[in-house]
Structure 1
Amino acid sequence: MANDMQPLLIELGTEELPVKALPGLAQAFFDGVLAALDKRGIAVERADARPLYTPRRIAVLLPGVAPAQPEQKSEVLGPYLNIALDADGQPTRALEGFAAKAGVEWTALERTSDKRGERFVHRSASPGESTAALLPQVVAEAIDAMPIPKPMRWGDHDHAFARPVLWLVALLGEEVVDMEAVGVRAGRESRGHRFMHSGPVPLARPGDYVDAMRDARVLVDPDERRARIVEEVNAAAAPHGSARIDEDNLEQVNCLVEWPVAVACSFDPAFLAVPPEALVATMEANQKFFPVLGEDGRLLEHFIGIANIASKDEAQVRLGYERVIRPRFADAQFFFTEDIRQGLASMNAGLGAVTYQASLGSVADKVARVAALAEAIARSAGVDPALAARAASLSKADLQSRLVGEFPELQGIAGRYYALQDPALDDLAVEARTAVANAIDEAYAPRHAGDDIALSPLGKVLAIAERADTLAGGFAAGLRPTGNKDPFALRRNALGLARTVIESALELDLGALLGRARALALDAMVASAEAALAAASGDKDRERAQKRLDDALADRAADPQAGIDALYDFILDRLKGYYADRGVPAQHFAAVAALRPRSLHDFNRRIAAIGSFAELPEAEALAAADKRIRNILRKADGDVPGTVDPALLSEPAELALAEAVEAVHGDTAPPLASGDYVDVLARLARLRPQVDAFFDAVMVNAEDPAVRGNRLALLQRLAGRLGSVAAIEHLSV
């Protein structure tokens, strides 16, 4: 069969495809073709096959495909014998009908059995269809399965695709497949670069595809094209510095060009007075250019554009790139200058008119809550509470700036620059002023998955306070995520809070923090409802506002623990994935989560300790014993005595265990108090011989109730210490 394999090429030629969707569309088409071939039993040699694509084409190139399906076998079950044959063994109408439908005499049918008895069956085999005959169906299914959110229609037919399809190549071996897709007949001619190659590109066989297209100035392999872009960009930047190559920007450029050519450009150095993040955002997000950095990492007045053509007059291309970027830079320069003139205090004053969330008040209200939380958190973090409150009070001011209005991704970053220059902070020492400015920026960290947490102590305080308020407010306002809907990004905020605490090794009472954040949020809900009631006009409006106020007052008066627990559980749910990504087994996480430590730093130390304990040879047996002990205690009738009576201990094994338990209680008390959980579990592991001997020699459910209760008390005291670091019974499978 392997020698009969033939290479296959399917290429859909189109008008320019949507940039961000292109890789996904190509992968979906590739996967769809393979799935459709597999469904039909057609063998495929995949080797290193992968999607090939450019802005104007999507292709599947497979090194080997079987020429036909294997023999197609069929088995159709018929009636049972008691229905199929009469008393004389002759066929009934049911059997005759089944045989007629199968196209054979009833005597040619076979028999099979199942649990209900013996029945007739028709088995047949037929040659498989040729791959060439099946390819139209294969391609149609692959196209239908592609995730195209808004298919386009063109011409006077009903076909639809992401963009109009202009040509179709379908080669199986050296033969063109007789087929049509999306209203286009298949041939062997592709098309080269729109400007650098004239005429069609004839393909004799699939294996010629990549090289032939390269000769026609089209790099159809996205990996080759990406590597060419990186090489070109680095070479063009080298005389000045090093290129900043952002992966997302690189991927988008890769989906914009078929023949990448780097063009070195520059801009007026005066623009470097603008925050570099704004300039970089303009170059990358708006124009898909690559900034150039100096040895110190600072932005230089150079950038690299990628043209989709080797121009005969590169100077004109350069001038075009430089011309298009100048107005955007000039706008950023103007916005920045005007924002500096306005000042943070003026920006802050406008936050009261900006609604944060209908039930939680304005952005100014949120800032006040975050400041109160930051002041409380600062005491635990060893940060000046007054400085934390001041930084928090300025943390959202830049939302009213012109620069952030134009570049929303600069939230916090712009505030950092303004704080460094604002006269309103001249009363602070240089070090304190810098700390406040950096914290305004770091309050947003981590900004995305994989991003670093805040670096400075003050930044960490603000980041935690910001996320605690967002979580508590979101839950209080009934905005808890459902399915894929999470408008206030509560999941991301929960993980960001947890990461900041854990990775900072910050000893913070999470329950107390969530309780404080929840109380502030509920106060905001009441205040917002009171304001709504005061402003209501008309009976219906007042009735609705009164109900809203009554609900808010009831929520504030309710027992807070249930609300705190819901927030805690939500954070734990995010931590489950966090630790799974770091290779922590689910059983280890469950063992620590069962104890619900109030400190996430403490939670992390327990996770590390349970990982070390699990590697000990005694771990599995001790975990199983702990599980057994807890099952015994759960099934015990009545209350278990709170203390062990030494006078009721008689068996050597229970005497030895009691002595060992008392000793380990004393030995583990200091490391347990200091949080040295590895040492605690290592000491507990030494109990295994006494625990094993106890269960081998002692009957827990003794006939004497006093003895039975005393043995249960001993096991209860043992279980208390075994579960002091984590619920180790979760380690027992």
Structure 2
Amino acid sequence: MPKDLLLEIGLEEVPARFIRAAMEQLKEKTVKWLSEARIGHGEVKAYATPRRLAVYIQSVEEKQTDVNEEVKGPSRKIALDETGAWSKAAQGFARSQGVDPESFYFQELGGVEYIYAKKSSVGTATSSLLNEALPAIITSMTFPKNMRWGAWDLKFVRPIRWMVALFGEEVVPFEIAGVSTGRISRGHRFLGNDTEIGSPSAYADTLKEESVYVDVEERQGLILEGIQSLSKDKGWTISIKEDLLEEVLFLVEYPTVLFGTFDPDFLTIPQDVLITSMREHQRYFPVLNHDGELLPYFVTVRNGNEVALEQVAKGNEKVLRARLSDARFFYREDQKLPIATALDKLETIVFHEELGTVADKVRRIGKLAGMLSGIMKVDQVTAFHIERTAAICKFDLVTQMVYEFPELQGVMGEDYARKAGEPEPVAKGIFEHYQPRFSGDQSPASQVGAIVSIADKLDTIVGCFSIGIIPTGSQDPYALRRQAAGIVQMMLDHPTECTLAEAFRAALSVHRDAGLLKRDAEGIEKDLHDFFGLRVKNVLSEQARYDVVDAVLASGYNDISSVVRRGEALMEAVQQPDFKITVESFNRVNNLAGKATAHTVDASLFTESVEHDLYTRWLEIQGRYEHLLNQGMEGQALAALAELKPAVTAYFDKVMVMADDDNIRSNRLATLHAISGGLKKFADFSKLVW
């Protein structure tokens, strides 16, 4: 009869950021072992708190499934030696399968005879396997950081202090690092006691009696319920950032939501500073009014019950007061630092040992931003603001506030620049040049911010590529993929005449002038083109099916806005029932066009009226089609191409392209080559799948 299985690993407090992954890893490893061991089971549930990782599996079968299978071995030719006896290969096969060679039999497969054996195995009792499997699962776990304790060789995320292992109501006996399994778990460090787990199914409820909510979803529900209740009672908007909620979730075993206050005088500090200080230092949720303005309150989650909540709130208020006082001091001191002095300090900060200081990078950003401004034909005033923004965009990196809170870079630069009397577009551009900071973040709203942001990110990417730092697999220490995706996003949000190739060559020129290119510029440009191609493909894949994506990418993606619009237009067209026939006519043109050796069309060599009709029709459509493409009207351009279908159909009905006469054949292929060249400016239609 199936039994439930419970494994709990009791630990000293584990860093919150490690817990969810560790919980899932324990679950996955246990399920994988059961599968490989041929042990059936029911629902699997993982649990975790700061002091424990656990997995609970329902209805685990009491024994492995019996095995009865036919196993194929070597061919007869290999299995028998010259005397007809079993060869070493056959004997090795017998040993590997645990069978007697005398049980072999021959069977034909694909015209070749092979030896086969019937392999039977009676399943072993699950209980006899668990005392070796469970410790192996635990000791095979990996973590971002490990530690050792005592004289034990085991490396684990934190020292193991107790373990519960139950199969049904029986303890699964084993020992790790001097800790033996049992049925005694530990409750909340201050509100609970040691407690006996009678059976796996009683685990969560038993610990709840000892003030521990082991169910992660239940614990999160209690936190959100407490925050929402407080928000409703007070009329507040409580800002819940997902990563902060995740951290708080794994800092507590018994969550109780409470609030506190701080001196309204602190509200003279920029709101972002206060919110960052509360979130990063104290793990507090900020409180806003309905207009999104910060109020002098905070919300936090206690690892305990409601006893003496007022004293707990006052203690938190005292700590926050000290934090905010520090922030106010930094803020006031930073404003005494002239921007020019801050820029001088950038000369001492190394960006990368092979790419110079941050000051060197700022100078490169300025040159590249200027070149991009010229390519994009910005007006004189915007060009002036771009130049100034690029020159001072990193000055806040040397401020005390950014040193304390690196995530405020740009935020503080905007504020300090505005207070120093910089033009508003420049102050805003300093903040915006960091955007988009992450996937899903918005692009800079202004052209000033967008061009400086592109220059900054492209400088980093080109610099890294030039010294051989190119992302591989999951390795991307300089977040180059994210920065490339940001550039693609900005080029879409701020359509310009600047192509990828122009941007790459401008950046490479700046790096060449600085003497930083360690590789051939053409090789770097090719790598950049391929690298950005994957980012463009990701964007297209969000709005079009895979074959449409492949079709438009095959025609080039140098103009990012154009390839996206082509993808949208083609995606809409392929959903029309008659478009398949149009594509088939295009493909007939493309298939034969590849055989052309001459590319000049001589109308005097036309022998059929349909030849003249097709070529004339193409010339009529071509100008309009290419004009529409140049104007960014890809949908209408595709519609113009579709008008060619009747003439193409009539042409292939009446004309034998591969004529015997060399001149006529060559001219017909040249005609198709001319049309194909136009088609391929839009997409490679042969890649569409019906």
> Taking structure 2 as the reference length, what is the TM-score of the superposition?
0.90
CA distance in 2, matches of 1:153, 1:561: 50
1:640 and 2:604 matched: no
Give the structure 2 partner of residue 27 of structure 1.
24
The structure-2 alpha-carbon separation of the partners of 1:259 and 1:707, relative to structure 1 and needing over 3 Å to count, comes to same
Corresponding residue SS for 2:513: helix
1:721 and 2:678 matched: yes
1:347–1:397 Cα contact (<8 Å) kept:
yes
- Which residue among 448, 451, 466 is the counterpart of 2:441? 451
CA drift of 1:136 comes to: 2.5
Give the structure 2 partner of residue 6 of structure 1.
3
CA distance in 2, matches of 1:271, 1:16: 34
The structure-2 alpha-carbon separation of the partners of 1:483 and 1:92, relative to structure 1 and needing over 3 Å to count, comes to closer
1:58 and 2:15 matched: no
CA distance in 1, matches of 2:354, 2:76: 73
2:80–2:87 Cα contact (<8 Å) kept:
yes
CA drift of 1:396 comes to: 1.0
> Residues 495-514 of structure 1 correspond to what in structure 2 (within 5 A)?
495-514=485-504
Identity rate, percent: 34
CA distance in 2, matches of 1:375, 1:310: 60
Give the structure 1 partner of residue 12 of structure 2.
15
Q: Could you tell me which amino acid in structure 2 is paired with residue 604 of structure 1?
A: V
Give the structure 2 partner of residue 712 of structure 1.
669
Q: Could you tell me which amino acid in structure 1 is paired with residue 454 of structure 2?
A: I
The 10-residue stretch of structure 1 (235-244 or 161-170) with the greater mean CA deviation from structure 2: 235-244
The structure-2 alpha-carbon separation of the partners of 1:96 and 1:397, relative to structure 1 and needing over 3 Å to count, comes to closer
| Count of residue pairs the alignment pairs up | 686
Give the structure 1 partner of residue 563 of structure 2.
603
The structure-2 alpha-carbon separation of the partners of 1:640 and 1:19, relative to structure 1 and needing over 3 Å to count, comes to same
**1:140-166 deviation line (CA, Å, top 9, x unaligned):** 342244222444333455444322222
The structure-2 alpha-carbon separation of the partners of 1:731 and 1:273, relative to structure 1 and needing over 3 Å to count, comes to same
1:139–1:181 Cα contact (<8 Å) kept:
no
CA drift of 1:93 comes to: 12
2:142–2:156 Cα contact (<8 Å) kept:
no
The structure-2 alpha-carbon separation of the partners of 1:206 and 1:227, relative to structure 1 and needing over 3 Å to count, comes to same
Q: Could you tell me which amino acid in structure 1 is paired with residue 425 of structure 2?
A: A
CA distance in 1, matches of 2:666, 2:557: 30
CA drift of 1:467 comes to: 2.0
Corresponding residue SS for 1:256: coil
> Residues 214-233 of structure 1 correspond to what in structure 2 (within 5 A)?
214-233=208-227
Corresponding residue SS for 2:234: coil
CA drift of 1:173 comes to: 2.8
Q: Could you tell me which amino acid in structure 2 is paired with residue 584 of structure 1?
A: A
Corresponding residue SS for 2:594: helix
> Residues 87-486 of structure 1 correspond to what in structure 2 (within 5 A)?
110-113=105-108, 121-180=116-175, 183-200=178-195, 202-237=196-231, 238-239=233-234, 241-310=236-305, 312-378=307-373, 380=377, 384-423=382-421, 425=422, 433-486=423-476
Corresponding residue SS for 1:271: helix
CA drift of 1:721 comes to: 2.3
1:623–1:728 Cα contact (<8 Å) kept:
yes
The structure-2 alpha-carbon separation of the partners of 1:487 and 1:194, relative to structure 1 and needing over 3 Å to count, comes to closer
Give the structure 2 partner of residue 532 of structure 1.
none
Q: Could you tell me which amino acid in structure 2 is paired with residue 470 of structure 1?
A: T
Give the structure 1 partner of residue 36 of structure 2.
39
The structure-2 alpha-carbon separation of the partners of 1:666 and 1:52, relative to structure 1 and needing over 3 Å to count, comes to same
**1:239-283 deviation line (CA, Å, top 9, x unaligned):** 262211111111111111100112211222222222222222222
2:499–2:559 Cα contact (<8 Å) kept:
yes
The structure-2 alpha-carbon separation of the partners of 1:149 and 1:102, relative to structure 1 and needing over 3 Å to count, comes to closer
Corresponding residue SS for 2:45: coil
The structure-2 alpha-carbon separation of the partners of 1:232 and 1:39, relative to structure 1 and needing over 3 Å to count, comes to same
The structure-2 alpha-carbon separation of the partners of 1:6 and 1:463, relative to structure 1 and needing over 3 Å to count, comes to same
CA drift of 1:35 comes to: 0.3
> Residues 620-639 of structure 1 correspond to what in structure 2 (within 5 A)?
620-636=580-596, 639=597
CA distance in 2, matches of 1:100, 1:247: 56
CA distance in 1, matches of 2:96, 2:367: 81
2:540–2:564 Cα contact (<8 Å) kept:
no
CA distance in 2, matches of 1:333, 1:219: 39
Q: Could you tell me which amino acid in structure 2 is paired with residue 596 of structure 1?
A: G
The structure-2 alpha-carbon separation of the partners of 1:405 and 1:653, relative to structure 1 and needing over 3 Å to count, comes to same
Corresponding residue SS for 2:16: coil
CA drift of 1:655 comes to: 4.5
Q: Could you tell me which amino acid in structure 2 is paired with residue 602 of structure 1?
A: S
CA RMSD across the alignment: 3.4
Q: Could you tell me which amino acid in structure 1 is paired with residue 282 of structure 2?
A: Q
Give the structure 2 partner of residue 668 of structure 1.
625
1:159–1:182 Cα contact (<8 Å) kept:
yes
CA distance in 2, matches of 1:490, 1:403: 26
The structure-2 alpha-carbon separation of the partners of 1:443 and 1:105, relative to structure 1 and needing over 3 Å to count, comes to closer
- Which residue among 658, 681, 684 is the counterpart of 2:615? 658
The 10-residue stretch of structure 1 (651-660 or 404-413) with the greater mean CA deviation from structure 2: 651-660
1:110–1:123 Cα contact (<8 Å) kept:
no
Corresponding residue SS for 2:407: helix
CA distance in 1, matches of 2:92, 2:685: 66
The structure-2 alpha-carbon separation of the partners of 1:478 and 1:522, relative to structure 1 and needing over 3 Å to count, comes to farther
- Which residue among 652, 655, 661 is the counterpart of 1:698? 655
1:579 and 2:540 matched: yes
2:339–2:392 Cα contact (<8 Å) kept:
yes
CA drift of 1:592 comes to: 3.0
1:174–1:206 Cα contact (<8 Å) kept:
yes
1:623–1:732 Cα contact (<8 Å) kept:
no
CA drift of 1:364 comes to: 2.7
CA distance in 2, matches of 1:652, 1:377: 51
> Taking structure 1 as the reference length, what is the TM-score of the superposition?
0.85
- Which residue among 631, 642, 647 is the counterpart of 1:685? 642
The structure-2 alpha-carbon separation of the partners of 1:571 and 1:109, relative to structure 1 and needing over 3 Å to count, comes to closer
CA distance in 2, matches of 1:606, 1:95: 61
1:6–1:64 Cα contact (<8 Å) kept:
yes
CA distance in 1, matches of 2:95, 2:246: 61
2:599–2:674 Cα contact (<8 Å) kept:
no
Corresponding residue SS for 2:515: helix
> Gaps (5+ residues) in structure 2?
none
2:266–2:324 Cα contact (<8 Å) kept:
yes
Corresponding residue SS for 2:5: strand
CA distance in 2, matches of 1:89, 1:722: 67
The structure-2 alpha-carbon separation of the partners of 1:396 and 1:100, relative to structure 1 and needing over 3 Å to count, comes to closer
Q: Could you tell me which amino acid in structure 1 is paired with residue 619 of structure 2?
A: E
Give the structure 1 partner of residue 606 of structure 2.
649
Q: Could you tell me which amino acid in structure 2 is paired with residue 450 of structure 1?
A: G
The 10-residue stretch of structure 1 (226-235 or 22-31) with the greater mean CA deviation from structure 2: 226-235
The structure-2 alpha-carbon separation of the partners of 1:273 and 1:491, relative to structure 1 and needing over 3 Å to count, comes to same
The 10-residue stretch of structure 1 (326-335 or 583-592) with the greater mean CA deviation from structure 2: 583-592
Q: Could you tell me which amino acid in structure 2 is paired with residue 213 of structure 1?
A: L
Q: Could you tell me which amino acid in structure 1 is paired with residue 593 of structure 2?
A: L
CA distance in 2, matches of 1:449, 1:333: 32
CA distance in 2, matches of 1:574, 1:600: 10
CA drift of 1:622 comes to: 4.2
2:135–2:174 Cα contact (<8 Å) kept:
no
1:352–1:365 Cα contact (<8 Å) kept:
yes
The structure-2 alpha-carbon separation of the partners of 1:215 and 1:380, relative to structure 1 and needing over 3 Å to count, comes to farther
